[in-house]
Amino acid sequence: MRGADDAAPVGEEEQMTLLEARKGSRVRILEIPDDRARAQCIRFGIGEGTVVDWAEPLRVGPVLVRQANQEICLGRNLAARILVEEAAPYGGCGLDVRGRGA
Amino acid sequence: MRATDHARPVSPAVSASAACHGHISVQAPDGARRVVLVGNPNVGKSLFFNAFTGLYVDVSNFPGTTVAISSGRMGDDVMLDTPGIYGVSSFNDEEIVARDIVIDADVVLNVVDAVHLERDLFLTLQLIDMGLPLVVALNMVDEAETRGMRVDAAELARLLGVPVVPTVATRRRGFTEAQAALAEARVGLSDPVLQDRLVSLLDRVGTRGEALLVLEGDPFIAERHGIEPFGLRDEIYLDRRQRVNAVVSRVVERSGGGLDLRTRLGHALLRPLTGIPVLAAVLFIMYEFIGVFVAQTVVGFTEGTIMQGYVEPLIRQAVSAVVGSTGVLYQLLAGDFGVLTLSTTYIFGLLLPLVIGFYLMMSLLEDSGYLPRIAALTDRMMTAVGLNGRAIIPMILGFGCITMATITTRILGNERERKIATALMAFTIPCSAQLGVITGLLAGAGGFSLTVAYGAIMVVIFGLLGVLMARFVPGESTDLLIDLPPLRVPHPMNVLTKTYRKTIMFLREVGLYFVVGSLLLGVLQVTGALVAAQTWLAPLTEKWLLLPRQTSTAFIMGFVRRDFGAAGLYSLGLSGTDVLVALVTITLFVPCIASVLVITKERGKSFAAFVWVGSVVLAFLFGGILAHVAGWLA
């Protein structure tokens, strides 16, 4: 059994899947393993390295991702394969070099 | 079929069968330029097309595929509309069709949505990389302004190297300028490194456009030229993405931040707590409009008053004048299942109003941006039955006409999903013709509680069959990956044009099947096979379903039209649970002949046979179980 004490050490970027993202959080997309989904996401403006403005795993539904004015929905199974990490919120001190318009 | 312009299939898999046709081009007269409209879904492309080409437009299936293409004259030139796409390649039927039309274009008019330049310019840059003479219509500049965005069109033109015309298509602003700019169309500024690579391929591949697609790994274009596709898609796409972002950062100025009201409303529609009540309300309005107004009032007039009152007697008169009013030929042409009488009434009196009603509703849902949100809302549920949220679209249409819905399964990601959806609809979803009679019977026999029981039983059977098929139909279902367009007030003219075009396409595609269907039935009746089948079924009806012997007539009539089947029950005066048993059985029972024919055309003979035999087995299996359970309970 893993307890709360076993969480990732402080200071290290924590990887998770898109399905585990907090509602309304900004996350950086790290890896989209599926070829076709990756190509389609790049067309939508969301590639590996992109920081999305708003991620929301919908209750009993897919994951909503918003980037600039573009919104897409990804099925849960797909979202569970996409790796992300939490990015600093707007106005935070995090270096956001690969955000939109970069 | 363009039932879902905005919720384009973006699934990771593509049907191979749809993609392996040869290179085909739409004909243009000598000397005419082929002006091709290209753009992402829901950017207002069709408004340009309608304004530039006027009324005389040809809508046809692109040869070898199932995608409708509109073409029309624009002065001396020919304008071709293409399905909305996010990029040129062969991920799905729409892209394949657009790809083949784009490759042959003399001029491309690329409509982009000023609000979503990050997304739309990807396609623009790809068209530029393909070396196509291009004009960009920067559409919805008004909406961009209200969202606090300023887009610098002149700077965009400079960076892209092609004319850019700001437009507001809904108010026809900028149309004259856009049309004039077509004379100035230019090959834009591409990436020099990429162009060097393309040039090195030109001796093996005809055009820069095809060379680019081969580099991006398009297997079909590569095969056409007998070479291996390159695996450079990721690299080229990422590079293009960065170029798009660089352009956007220089031409778009944003003020304000956070989520505006429209966006918040859009999100509320996706969250179950708020989204489900809204969906229920929308479905209720649809039911009131289609199920009550169109199916009862309008059809009552078109089928009863016009067709049966005036047209059919005229046809009978004419036929009897030629072949006499007795004999086999009269029966086949103008008898109960006469090719001229039954199919004419069926197609024009019943189907036409219903199909118009459904396509009108779907076009409204589509243009308002709500349809993809329904797909998202129902995605989880659909996943349980081996589908994804996009399958909700044919399912809704199925309540109109299974035949129409079966054609719409083309939008689904792969053959496995199309099979599951087709079978689920054919088995469990009553079409509007049948639904009218079913609700009438339920109301007469037991009212509310019986209706709830019927609905609940059908939902359980739907789930059960869906889960089983998800388990046993080979292959893997695709994941939902859709673009959510902003919520917009639909443009009335656009909705009407779309409804008109889809209805024409539908009649053209399936009209013949309804004629063939009634001919088959006529033959069955004339040869006495229909009566023989009734006698043959009778013991099953009495002993297993515990229903009166005559009920079998209703089942046999179900072969013809599913509502004939249900209507046959009216005259039997059945009571509470008997009605329930009969209705569940008849809903599950075989789909109408026209839809069986379309299932055969779309999914093949053996699958159609599976659905047909399966529906008979399931109908009697579930009907019998229900009859016996009800018997024990009582």
pLDDT digits (tens, 9 = 90+) for A52-101: 999 999 998 999 999 888 999 999 999 999 999 999 876 544 444 444 44
Q: What is the reported pLDDT for B566?
A: 61
- For the CA atoms of B51, B52, B56, B62, what is the dihedral angle to 10 degrees? -110
Q: For residues B425 and B406, give the distance between their C-alpha atoms in angstroms, rounded to a whole number.
A: 8
Residue B111 lies in a domain: yes
- Write out chain A residues lying below 8 Å of B263, CB-based: 66, 71
Residues B315 and B170 in one domain: no
Residue B163 lies in a domain: yes
Residue B223 lies in a domain: no
CATH classification code of A13-86? 2.30.30.90
Q: What is the full DSSP assignment across B394-460?
A: HHHHHTT-HHHHHHHGGGSSSHHHHHHHHHHHHHHPPPHHHHHHHHHHHHHHTHHHHHHHHHHHHHH
Q: What is the reported pLDDT for B158?
A: 97
Q: Is the dihedral of CA B239, B245, B246, B248 positive or negative?
A: positive
Residue B215 lies in a domain: no
Residue B563: count other Cβ atoms within 10 Å of its Cβ: 23
Residues B451 and B562 in one domain: yes
Give the chain B residue whose CA is nearest to the CA of A61: B380
Angle (CA) B555 B558 B562, round 5°: 135
- Selected for mutation to probe chain B from A42, A67, A97 (highest B CB count within 10 Å) is A42
Consecutive 10-residue averages of pLDDT for chain B (634 residues): 35 34 51 91 89 76 67 90 91 87 94 95 97 96 90 97 96 94 95 90 87 92 88 92 94 79 93 95 91 86 91 92 86 83 85 89 91 94 94 90 88 91 95 79 78 93 96 92 91 88 82 80 81 82 84 73 63 79 88 88 94 93 92 82
**pLDDT tens-digit series, residues B505-517:** 888 877 888 788 7
Domain count, chain B: 2
Inter-residue contact B544 to B627 (CB < 8 Å): yes
**Confidence class for position A10, pLDDT limits 50, 70, 90:** very low
**pTM to 2 decimal places:** 0.84
The domain boundary residue, chosen from B156, B188, B220 = B188
- Selected for mutation to probe chain A from B243, B479, B484 (highest A CB count within 10 Å) is B479
Amino acid of residue B580: L
Q: For residues B328 and B338, give the distance between their C-alpha atoms in angstroms, rounded to a whole number.
A: 10
Residues B281 and B420 in one domain: yes
Residues B487 and B607 in one domain: yes
Residue B397 lies in a domain: yes
Residues B180 and B284 in one domain: no
Pick from A39, A42, A73: CB nearest B484: A73
ipTM value of the model?
Answer: 0.83
Residue B5 lies in a domain: no
CATH code assigned at B109:
3.40.50.300
**pLDDT tens-digit series, residues B40-68:** 988 989 889 989 987 667 766 666 556 77
Q: What is the reported pLDDT for A42?
A: 94
**pLDDT tens-digit series, residues B454-495:** 999 999 999 999 999 999 999 999 999 999 998 989 989 889
Q: What is the reported pLDDT for B421?
A: 97
Residues B501 and B614 in one domain: yes
A23 touches chain B (CB under 8 A): no
The domain boundary residue, chosen from B188, B205, B236 = B188
Is a pLDDT exceeding 70 seen at residue A9? no
Residues B130 and B276 in one domain: no
Q: What is the reported pLDDT for B287?
A: 85
Residue B155 lies in a domain: yes
Residue B221 lies in a domain: no
Q: How far B607 CA lies from chain A's nearest CA (Å)?
A: 28
SS3 label, residue B118: helix
Q: What is the reported pLDDT for B200?
A: 86
Task: Give the range of the structural domain holding residue B488, as residue numbers without chain letter.
Answer: 272-633
Which of B 375-414 lie inside 8 A of A, CB atoms?
375-377, 379-380, 383, 388-389
Q: What is the reported pLDDT for B28?
A: 61
Q: What is the reported pLDDT for A64?
A: 96
Helix (H) or strand (E) holding B162: none
